[in-house]
């Protein structure tokens, strides 16, 4: 909201350019330089895929977007999105292990993140061996995704984040004492 007058006055490109430069520098410093780019890309692919998959499944269930529909074979077999997810996880995991020279780590991380989201979105199905996606037990899938996301984000924040957080939270309290 505060940037609106600046954007209207024609300096918007400068502000956006400076912001993008700052974001690139922060990404290079906090993600690339610390060796966490594959984990960041995996987490980003995981969270994005989960959001997109939930949007698609809700649109199928409530018939909101006609371009999306269930995938069913001619014999009537419903193919859950967990199946391509498993294939992506297996393929990217295998390639991540067997490729040695010039392994496409970033690409494999993204493919693994996409596959993991597809699989964990149907966690309740493979936990219970029953299609409970739209039942109350289907909530277990969301719980699994939240847990996996939390672990991924905690890793990205790093162990050095926690002492700084505690210090920042205690500083006002200690200043009063």
At 10, is the pLDDT very low, low, confident or very high (cuts 50, 70, 90)?
Answer: low
The domain spans of the chain are 37-176
Residue 172 pLDDT: 74
Q: What is the mean pLDDT of residues 95-100?
A: 93
Please state the three-class secondary structure of the chain as a single string: CCCHHHHHHHHHHHHHHHHHHHHHHHHHHHHHCCCCHHHHHHHHHHHHHHHHHHHHHHHHHCCCCCCCCCCECCCCCECCCHHHHHHHHHHHHHHHHHCCCCCCHHHHHHHHHHHHHHHHCCHHHHHHCCCCCCCHHHHHHHHHHHHHHHHHHHHHHCCCHHHHHHHHHHHHHHHHC
What is the C-alpha separation between 36 and 87, in angstroms, rounded?
25
Q: What is the pLDDT of residues 112-157, one digit of tens each?
A: 999 999 999 998 888 888 888 888 888 899 999 999 998 888 888 7
pLDDT in the model for residue 53:
94
pLDDT, tens digit, for every residue of 13-50?
766 777 788 778 888 888 888 888 999 999 999 999 99
56 to 9, 139, 149: CA distances (angstroms): 40, 17, 20
Distance of CA 91 to the CA centre of its chain: 19
Candidates 83, 86, 88, 81; CA nearest to 53 is: 81
pLDDT band at 77 (very low <50, low <70, confident <90, very high): confident
Higher pLDDT, 26 or 3: 26
- pLDDT at position 52: 95
pLDDT, position 132: 83
pTM (2 d.p.): 0.77
């Amino acid at each position: 909201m505060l940037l609106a007058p600046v954007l209207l006055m024609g300096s918007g490109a400068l502000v956006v350019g400076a912001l993008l430069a700052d974001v690139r520098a922060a990404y290079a410093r906090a993600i690339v330089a610390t060796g966490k780019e594959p984990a960041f890309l995996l987490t980003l692919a995981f969270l994005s895929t989960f959001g997109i998959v939930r949007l698609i499944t809700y649109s199928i269930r409530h018939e909101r977007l006609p371009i999306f529909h269930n995938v069913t074979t001619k014999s009537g077999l419903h193919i859950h999105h967990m199946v391509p997810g498993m294939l992506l996880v297996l393929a990217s995991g295998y390639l991540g292990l067997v490729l040695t020279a010039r392994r496409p780590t970033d690409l494999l991380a993204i493919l693994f993140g996409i596959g993991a989201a597809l699989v964990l979105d149907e966690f309740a199905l493979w936990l219970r061996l029953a299609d409970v996606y739209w039942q109350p037990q289907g909530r277990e899938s969301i719980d699994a995704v939240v847990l996996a996301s939390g672990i991924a984000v905690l890793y990205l924040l790093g162990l050095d984040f926690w002492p700084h957080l505690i210090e920042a939270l205690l500083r006002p309290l200690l200043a009063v004492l």
